[in-house]
Amino acid sequence: MPIGVLWLQLHMPGSRSLKEKRRALKSLLTRLQREFNVSVAEMDALDQTDFAVVACAHISNNAAHTHRTLQKVVQWIETHWHGGYIADESIEMI
């Protein structure tokens, strides 16, 4: 059973406080969970106001489907999320 993990480093230049960062991230994470049926969490850089490390996990019975789903997450963020941009990303298949 393939498990895919998408690691995202998000730069959020408009965020001036942790409260603003949390609000923007919560909205993004909730949307990703709903749209793509992935598990999502902020993993690192918790005390930085303009940077976040987020992980998305997806599991299915088909590795190609899992990989495509995580690629769609990246594309959706690049197209629809206006709270910042992806500084770096990687997909890891387990």
Q: How confident is the model at residue 83 (pLDDT cuts 50, 70, 90)?
A: confident
Residues in Cβ contact with 78 at an 8 Å cutoff, skipping those fewer than 6 apart: 85, 86
User: Which whole number is the average pLDDT over 8-28?
Assistant: 91
Number of domain units in the chain: 1
> Among 25, 79, 16, 76, which Cα is nearest to 50's?
16
**Once rounded to an integer, what is the mean pLDDT over residues 74-80?**
96
Residue 50: HSE in the Cβ half-sphere, 13 Å Cα cutoff: 4
Residue range of the domain that includes 61: 3-93
The pLDDT tens digits for 24-45 are: 899 999 999 999 999 999 999 8
In CATH, what number is assigned to the domain containing residue 17?
A: 3.30.70.1120
Q: What secondary structure letter does DSSP report for 15?
A: -
Residues 47-61 have pLDDT tens digits of 899 999 999 999 999
This prediction's pTM: 0.90
Q: Collapsing DSSP states into helix, strand and coil, what is residue 17?
A: coil
